[in-house]
A and B are shown apart, each in its own frame.
Chain A
Amino acid sequence: MTPLRPPSLLDRRLVIVTGKGGTGKTTVAAALAVAAAGAGRRVLLAEVGRDEQIPSRFAPGSPPAGYAGREVHPGVTAMRIDPFEALGEYLALQLGMSAPVGLVLRNRAFRQLMEAAPGWRELITLGKIWHLEQMQTSPARPRWDLIVVDAPATGHGVSFLSAPRVVVSALRAGPLRRHAAQVEALVEDPVRTALLPVALAEELPVRETEELVRNARNEVGISVDRVVVNAMLPRPFPPGLEDLDERLRRLPEGAPLGALPPASVLAACAGHLRARWDLHERWARTLAESIGLPCVRLPYLAEGVEGPASLAALGAALLAGSPSEAA
């Protein structure tokens, strides 16, 4: 099955980027934000982890953006959604509590108590995202055209998103149910929202991504219309020379090659590149077949991705990404 090309990510209001640790999820989220800003969108780039990572992707050593947020690139505002700050804001805004809330939420023991309570962090974080999505500068003009969320590493990825659904099904009435239902509607709206999983073309990340996509469909009902396969190695040899490493291995050892390394070293280098490339191709194909979705391939960048220029290049590749390379 050759899946059709999905609609542009730029036409969504909310893109939630998720993936196993080490797949480059944060970099992909930042690259998407830069590309969207380049296309004229006002972008909010929100992360939810304990340690803020995004500002330093734009400029090494830059200070955290925090809950208030800070513009890290023209058109891109970064922020970190802290669940306790969001809880304080929610309680103050929605329930008319003010003075004691701050005192209570800053207390270490109370925080520990809240750490023991299930589900509220995910719910309040998604609630804050919903609130940000609803913000308007003038009637009919949203404050943020696109919100890109760097979600927690998978494992927590889907339970993070299912919190509103769980609350809605558990409660019969009340303000919390009403609010959770609004959040659920945003998460499950395929026009406004998409989940963007980031994988590597290796066994473990591919297996995890398959499970993530399955759970996203069955347990959350969020739209997933493509998957990013990050850090793909380039084809090592030109067409017609696919078995170059084997040919090099057949050269007699000690063949005079001038300033070149010995034939066995040339063969080893070529063999290694080919083996890793084969592995990438095999797992990228396995993933595409098992989930039946387009896989956008992003190149392996040996020098890493740091700073707006390299993020922009990666973002352009992400938006232009073809579903799969011609074999």
Chain B
Amino acid sequence: MSASKFARACLLRPRIAVCVGSGGVGKTTVAAALALEAARSGRRALVLTIDPARRLADALGVAALGNQPEELPRAALAALGVPPQGGLSAMMLDMKRTFDDLVDRFADSPETRARILANPIYQHVSEALAGSVEYSAMEKVYELDAQRAYDLIVVDTPPSQHALDFLEAPQRLVEFLDSRIVHMLIHPAFVAGRLGFRLFQRGARRVLQILERVSGIGFLEDVSEFLLAFEGMSEGFRQRANGVRALLLGPETAFVLVAGAGRDSVQQALELRQRLAGFGASLTGVLVNRVRIWPGGGPPPDLAGAEGSLGALAAALAASEGAGFPAQAAAKAALGAAAGYAAFVRRDARETAALRSAVEKQGGYWGAIPELSGDVHDLAGLAQVARAIFGSQADPGKEALHAG
């Protein structure tokens, strides 16, 4: 199988591709490039971003992205080689809205719904229970996938130190709702029990009361109110959460890890890989973004003995630039630049070697996206990234280096 076929098989085959990675590695750009490539191969693709910056909207040439999929203009897509049966849509997840929809779905009465939405604790709970924000993204994916309007949904997950919290979030929320402290707060009278627990109960209530007293906020009351209202939703929420989890860990979903070439970024990627494996998630590919690649590919040559050829370069420069051009200095500077760039190329290869061998040993796809000369801020730029991943007639490394 050719490299580009293998890339397609790993990165684009399933119905859902979840891009994970730490912040600042270009995850949003890579997600959009994957969706564009799927569209070019004739599929209806959707890229779902959580990045509130307007960059993706700008890059895709649409006015604004909202909580509903926005289809890109056909003419712009056709110009990039997207066939008539293919399509590309984009949306930006409104996480608060998605969580509200969830409350809507499971609240047992309009009164319950109103009570939950008006509760001050609710305003924070979706963010505060770590991972719930990420979870609401997956909730949206589940809903969109069920509609089957797209052949491929590419998800750009939030940049966070703990980028996989969303896999745990449903379980954690359900566990929290079921926990003893919750029942104790809601129904203190029903708590009978052992001495240790009573002691704990007293302590917890006392801590909360003091927090209330010093803060002047009706904390205990708001929490009880919220939990009481949420209690009736617990079962529906649990079932839904199980469905989302099954989809994410099932064969329809592939995780694509996006990393940078720096030491910290590679380290974080290795850890993320371990954690994904721990969840039983299927990591099919790793893309290292912004890697410096030697022109034409391959390892850079050893330039240690090249000093002796500076005279030849100076002569060639003098011939093409004419007299008056400081050809000697220019030749020296050119060698300096080549040696400097070669050092960058070797460094990136060295820093990413451990990640590469770990991925390849497991039969996953490993791809390096060459560092481009400029920022990606339009569809053409995204197409360039897609070509760098999936290949094209032109050598991607060479093309990137000459662009801009």
B-binding residues in A (CB < 8 A): 20-23, 49-51, 91, 95, 97, 99-101, 103-105, 107-110, 112-113, 115-118, 120, 153, 167, 170-172, 174-176, 202-205, 207, 236-238, 240-241, 244-245, 247-248, 250-252, 255-261, 263-266, 268-273, 275-276, 279, 302-304
Query: Taking each of B180, B294, B313, which has the highest tally of chain A beta carbons within 10 Å of its own beta carbon?
Result: B313
Report whether A258 and B308 are in contact in the complex, using a CB–CB cutoff of 8 Å: yes
In the complex, A120→B106 CA distance in Å? 30
Chain B nearest CB from A60 CB (Å) reads 11
Contact A269 B338, CB 8 Å, known A110-B204, A241-B330, A257-B312 = yes
Report whether A266 and B338 are in contact in the complex, using a CB–CB cutoff of 8 Å: yes
Interface residues of B in 114-128 (CB under 8 A from A): 121, 123-125, 128
Closest to B28 in A: A204
What residues on A are CB-neighbors of B161 within 8 Å? 21, 49-51
**Chain B contact surface mostly:** helix
Report whether A251 and B320 are in contact in the complex, using a CB–CB cutoff of 8 Å: yes
Chain A nearest CB from B109 CB (Å) reads 23
What residues on A are CB-neighbors of B24 within 8 Å? 20-23, 204-205
Cβ contacts A to B, 13 pairs, < 8 Å:
A20-B23, A22-B262, A100-B202, A101-B203, A115-B128, A117-B223, A202-B375, A247-B317, A252-B316, A256-B312, A264-B295, A272-B371, A302-B344
What residues on A are CB-neighbors of B213 within 8 Å? 174
- Chain B 204-230 against A: per-residue CB contact (8 Å), 1 yes, 0 no? 101100110111100100010000000
What residues on B are CB-neighbors of A113 within 8 Å? 176, 181-182, 185, 223
Report whether A259 and B309 are in contact in the complex, using a CB–CB cutoff of 8 Å: yes
Size category of the B interface is: 35 or more
Report whether B216 and A171 are in contact in the complex, using a CB–CB cutoff of 8 Å: yes
Chain A nearest CB from B213 CB (Å) reads 7
B113 interface residue (CB < 8 Å to A): no
Contact A241 B23, CB 8 Å, known A117-B124, A204-B55, A259-B308 = no
Task: List the 9 shortest-distance A-B pairs measured between CB atoms, nearest first.
Answer: A100-B203, A258-B309, A22-B24, A21-B23, A176-B214, A275-B373, A268-B295, A109-B181, A109-B179
Chain B nearest CB from A31 CB (Å) reads 15
Report whether A259 and B306 are in contact in the complex, using a CB–CB cutoff of 8 Å: yes
Chain A nearest CB from B131 CB (Å) reads 10
Report whether A263 and B337 are in contact in the complex, using a CB–CB cutoff of 8 Å: no
Report whether A204 and B53 are in contact in the complex, using a CB–CB cutoff of 8 Å: yes
Report whether A97 and B207 are in contact in the complex, using a CB–CB cutoff of 8 Å: yes
